[in-house]
């Protein structure tokens, strides 16, 4: 059954448009509370935790959700600005009925949205999301016994200790100089403290949110400032998070970027060396060089559809503990239940310290293949799988790559575009094939 409101990762959009309004969030809080009460088999929805990133609109939506939940008889624990994975963790430790994150992740401050976690700190199953959507279309009623709200004062400290506790006893970061880019987002307090308390000399940047500057020319999607600071300070590396802290990217001592594929490769290789990697899940967008690098070590690899929901599903199906996306969304299920930028960063640092090499040296162990992606605007829907000219062009491109690359055409889930991606060993050939395919796709969808 198709969802009316929920996408693959919650609900997201421009503040004030569509469902991203206080009125909808009020109704959503009430609907969540009613569904939780039904699940519990009584009139109580238990406790629901609410966290948020640093967007100015977060205060407005927090109040609306709080009021809706309380009117449904649910108790509310307010966490304040906290990374998305911290809310997942705290939902587990408080044995709450659910956790709600108010965030639009790496989007600008003009957007906002919500993500929901189950009592075990995982994304809500389809049947629960559908039950909430059904409840959203009903008229609000007030419970006979209202819920209560309280602020969780020690949330930050609990999560910091959890992050540090994910590492072996005695592990430290003494001697490392690290620039930490907090994207003026949810990690602005906790990330510098985690690395600093482990002994690193931390140089924080983009750690002064004002409600409007989240992800603004900073964070994991805009790495120029981080690269500049690493080179100017002579730091050993830079670490960048996105607005809600579930993604991470690194910059090495030479100012070169390490994306999610390269970070996953470092984590998986270290775990494999120590007998702790049964396989890795990537996505359709994972670099072919990443796949080959794992294959050369005898590490099984599987591609899932783009989206952490699908990555985690494939990990569970295979019984594997590592997966993620090139965007820096990395899941280490032996440590936590969802993508966590800080946890992933610590796993990379664990490998770096064990190997006794610089980050640049570790990076060179995996050779990324040249990859070119061109977005083709869509005006008319066309079934490209049955379009003879497009399929012939794909077959021709794959033949010219001679088994040493790949071609992918994928409709975006967030924009009216077809993503045309080609990978191979020679950049000139890859770029030429990508443009040829994009031109043919453009004619097909015009």
Q: Round to the nearest angstrom and report the end-to-end CA distance of the chain.
A: 31
Contacts of 120 (CB under 8 A, 6+ apart): 91, 92, 337
For 143-180, the DSSP string reads: -SS---EEE-TTHHHHHHHHHHHTS-TT---TT-EEEE
Angstrom distance (rounded) from CA 257 to CA 75: 44
Instruction: Report which of 296, 279, 427 is spatially closest to residue 365, judged by C-alpha positions.
Output: 296
Do residues 176 and 210 make contact, with C-beta atoms less than 8 angstroms apart?
Answer: no
Class of residue 318 by CB neighbours under 10 A (exposed 0-12, middle 13-18, buried 19+) = middle
The C-alpha atoms of residue 134 and residue 6 are separated, in whole angstroms, by: 12
Q: Which of 71, 105, 166, 220 is catalytic?
A: 105
Eight-class DSSP state of 384: G
Q: What is the DSSP letter of 223?
A: -
DSSP 92: H
Sign (positive or negative) of CA dihedral 316, 341, 84, 224: negative
Distance CA 227, CA 401 (A): 33
- Are 247 and 241 a contacting pair, CB within 8 Å? yes
Q: For residues 69 and 32, what is the distance between their CA atoms, to the nearest angstrom?
A: 7
For residue 150, the cross-strand partners are 77
Q: Identify the burial level of 446 via C-beta atoms within 10 angstroms of its C-beta, where 0-12 means exposed, 13-18 middle and 19 or more buried.
A: exposed
Handedness of CA 386, 392, 393, 399 (dihedral sign): positive
Torsion of CA 383, 384, 390, 393, to 10 degrees: -160
57 labelled catalytic = no
What whole-number distance in Å separates Cα of residue 272 and Cα of residue 344? 16
- Enzyme catalytic residues: 105
């Amino acid at each position: 059954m198709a969802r009316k409101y929920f996408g693959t990762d919650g609900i997201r959009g421009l503040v004030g448009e569509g469902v991203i309004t206080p009125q909808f969030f009020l109704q959503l809080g009430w609907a969540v509370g009613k569904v939780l009460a039904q699940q519990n088999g009584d009139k109580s929805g238990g406790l629901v935790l609410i966290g948020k990133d640093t967007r100015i609109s977060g205060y407005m939506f927090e109040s609306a959700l709080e009021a809706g939940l309380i009117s449904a008889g649910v108790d509310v624990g307010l966490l304040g600005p906290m990374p998305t994975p911290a809310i997942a963790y705290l939902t587990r430790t408080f044995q709450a009925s659910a956790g709600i994150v108010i965030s639009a992740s790496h989007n600008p401050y003009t957007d906002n949205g919500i993500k929901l976690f189950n009592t075990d700190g995982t994304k809500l199953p389809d049947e629960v999301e559908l039950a909430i959507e059904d409840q959203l279309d009903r008229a609000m009623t007030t419970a006979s016994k209202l819920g209560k709200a309280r602020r969780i004062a020690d949330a930050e400290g609990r999560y910091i200790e959890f992050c540090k506790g994910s590492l072996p006893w005695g592990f430290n970061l003494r001697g490392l100089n690290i620039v930490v880019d907090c994207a003026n987002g949810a990690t602005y307090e906790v990330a510098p403290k985690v690395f600093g308390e482990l002994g690193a000399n931390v140089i924080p940047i983009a750690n002064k949110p004002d409600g409007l500057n989240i992800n603004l020319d900073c964070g994991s999607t805009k790495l120029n400032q981080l690269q500049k600071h690493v080179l100017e300070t002579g730091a050993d590396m830079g670490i960048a998070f996105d607005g809600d802290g579930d993604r991470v990217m690194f910059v090495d001592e030479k100012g070169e970027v390490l994306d999610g594929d390269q970070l996953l490769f470092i984590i998986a290789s270290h775990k494999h060396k120590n007998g702790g990697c049964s396989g890795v899940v990537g996505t359709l967008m994972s670099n072919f060089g990443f796949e080959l690098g794992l294959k050369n070590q005898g590490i099984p690899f599987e591609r899932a559809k783009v989206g952490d929901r699908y990555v985690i599903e494939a990990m569970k199906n295979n019984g594997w503990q590592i997966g993620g996306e090139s965007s820096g969304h990395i899941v280490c299920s032996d440590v936590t239940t969802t993508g966590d930028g800080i946890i992933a960063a610590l796993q990379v640092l664990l490998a770096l310290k064990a190997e006794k090499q610089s980050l640049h040296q570790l990076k060179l162990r995996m050779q990324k293949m040249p990859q070119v992606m061109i977005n083709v605007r869509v005006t008319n829907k066309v079934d490209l799988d049955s379009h003879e000219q497009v399929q012939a062009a794909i077959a021709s491109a794959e033949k010219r790559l001679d088994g040493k690359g790949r071609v992918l055409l994928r409709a975006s889930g967030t924009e009216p575009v077809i993503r045309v991606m080609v990978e191979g060993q020679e950049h000139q050939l890859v770029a030429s094939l990508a443009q040829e395919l994009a031109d043919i796709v453009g004619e097909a969808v015009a």
